[in-house]
Amino acid sequence: MNKNIIILGVQWGDEGKGKVIDLLSKNVNYVVRYQGGNNAGHTIIINEKKIILHLIPSGIMHKNVKTIIGNGVVISPNNLLSEIKELENLNIKIKNRLFLSTMCPLVLEYHIAMDLAQENFLKKKLIGTTGKGIGPSYTDKISRYALRIDDLFNKDIFAKKLKQIVDYYNFQLIYFYKSNSVNYKKILEHTLDISENITKISIDVSDFLYKARKNNKKIIFEGAQGTFLDIDHGTYPYVTCSNTIAGGALTGTGIGPLHVDYVLGVVKSYSTRVGSGPFPTEIFDKYNLHITNKGKEFGSTTGRKRRVGWLDIIFLKKAIIINSLTSLCLTKLDVLDGLDTVKLCVSYITSSGKKIFNLPIKQEDWNHIKPVYEIHPGWKENTCGITNILNLPQAAFNYIKRIEELTNINISIISTGPDRNNVIILDHFL
């Protein structure tokens, strides 16, 4: 039986990871978030009630599960405490069920100010940031002057470090970005006022997880966003600032590579992305309208309309390699209900007429490729809520099997609707 399982998105985020993690969490002891910040949003629907989690791992919805935020995550104290309060208002117990790494970098007011100033400065060259301060926080981390949770244990040291950083940020905000400065005193007082709420739940995550595994505990490592938003392996520069791939679970929590037993990749039955960047299978026709409306394709964090396209097998095969996927979870199958045809991108054709089966190596090459599709019959029947694969329309069944054939990997879970129980389980790997 698998003990340590990584669950991550294998597109550009918004694949439905929150639902899948929530579904599988009932069988584990811990759910651990390993990267990103409150720029991500995991949506869970229980009894038709929508709950969106931005920082706290999805496993919090199960009372027997403890949740952990690893060092790869950047923490906005304000957003974390707000999320805790929101869950407690829903009678979800948080005490003794949520822990943070002492090494998590903090996201503070000056990060948000810088994020917005940079986005305004770039204007037409927008990356598509959520404006939550995540990028500047990771920049501080890489530059080695980030404030972390462990700095909050000594208020004098924290105050001194904060003053240096705020002065540095204000100089840039005022003189380069022609933007407003931030107030050092207000940030200091507010952060110190709430610091105990943060420090009292902080732990050595690596040591904690090592002991948990020794005691045969089951752990899910929860990815945020998606594989092709990875800072290294994504569609650079249209990426996030963290490692969203499976390898990020190791660096973002401190577990060793031999302690990963299973990697589940979550993929939509079609493709979406938010913000700028390459998207070969993007569509603008009647199918876009159908998928957008039926799939409710609007960002859970920003509310922005997502770009929509067909499932890209070239990207998916690359994600399988990068993440060493064990199996796939196919989500939102029901969104394709009612379409006369469905398409799978199986290769690209260049402007010179050459057919290629891999992602472009050079950034400029994205502008010179077009998708080559397999066109499959759609289905008019309703698949929402189906829990047995034998009850699927034949065309839907064939679509699923063709994805397996093209990728040479098994699909272990199929999501057929928004509720946690709208699933077809094909492999009980947990």
How confident is the model over 54-76, as a mean pLDDT? 94
- CATH code at 155? 1.10.300.10
- Could you tell me the pLDDT band of residue 46, with boundaries at 50, 70 and 90? low
Cβ-based neighbour number of residue 260 at 10 Å: 21
pLDDT digits (tens, 9 = 90+) for 97-134: 999 999 999 999 999 999 999 988 887 555 667 788 99
Contacts of 248 (CB under 8 A, 6+ apart): 34, 35, 72, 223, 230, 242
pLDDT score of 307 more than 80: yes
DSSP state of 365: G
Residue of 14, 22, 115, 337 marked catalytic: 14
pLDDT recorded at residue 125: 58
**Residue 147 structural domain:** 109-198
Among 55, 62, 65, 12, residue whose Cα is nearest residue 35: 55
Verify that 96 and 208 share a domain, yes or no.
yes
> Alpha helix (H) ranges present in 200-285?
205-214, 247-251
| 167 and 259 together in one domain | no
Final residue belonging to a domain, choices 245, 263, 281: 263
Average pLDDT, the chain: 94
CB burial of residue 212 (10 Å; 0-12, 13-18, 19+): buried
- Residue 253, domain member (yes or no): yes
Structural domain includes residue 320? yes
* Claim to verify: residue 278 and residue 413 sit in the same structural domain: yes
List the CATH number of the domain containing 24.
Answer: 3.40.440.10
Over residues 273-288, mean pLDDT: 94
Specify whether the CB–CB gap between 324 and 304 falls below 8 A.
Answer: no
Q: pLDDT at position 3, please?
A: 86
Active-site residue (options: 22, 42, 111, 419) = 42
Residue 429: per-residue pLDDT: 83
Q: Please, what is the Cα angle at 307 between 303 and 309, to 5 degrees?
A: 145
Half-sphere exposure of 341 (CA within 13 A, CB side): 9
Partnered with residue 148 across adjacent β-strands are 105
Burial class (CB in 10 A: 0-12, 13-18, 19+), 284: exposed
The residue among 220, 247, 263 that closes a domain is: 263
Query: In CATH, what number is assigned to the domain containing residue 365?
Result: 3.90.170.10
pTM of structure: 0.94
| Domain final position from 155, 181, 198 | 198
For residue 332, what are the contacts with CB-CB under 8 A and spacing of at least 6?
16, 268, 269, 270, 295, 415
- Average pLDDT value for residue range 347-359: 96
DSSP labels for 133-166?
SHHHHHHHHHHT---BGGGGG-HHHHHHHHHHHH
Each residue's pLDDT tens digit, 384-399? 999 999 999 999 999 9
Number of independent structural domains in the chain: 3
Q: How far is CA 204 from the centre of its chain?
A: 23
pLDDT in tens, 76-100: 999 999 999 999 998 999 999 999 9
Q: Say whether pLDDT at 301 is over 70.
A: no
pLDDT band per the 50, 70, 90 thresholds, residue 300: low
259 catalytic, yes or no? no
- Please indicate, yes or no, if residue 430 is contained in any of the structural domains: no
Same domain, 20 and 64: yes
Residue 153 carries which side chain, given as an amino acid letter?
F
Residue 166 has pLDDT above 60, yes or no: yes
Q: Let me know whether 191 and 132 are in one domain.
A: yes
Residues 215 and 77 occupy one common structural domain: yes
Among candidate residues 285, 228, 247, 300, the one with its CA nearest the CA of residue 11: 228
Q: Is 14 a catalytic residue?
A: yes
Indicate the range of 52-61, 142-151, 224-233, 284-293 predicted with least confidence: 52-61
Q: Judge if 316 and 415 occupy the same domain.
A: yes
Whether residue 410 sits in one domain with residue 329: yes
Q: State what percent of residues in the chain have pLDDT above 70.
A: 96
Q: Is the pLDDT of residue 48 over 70?
A: no
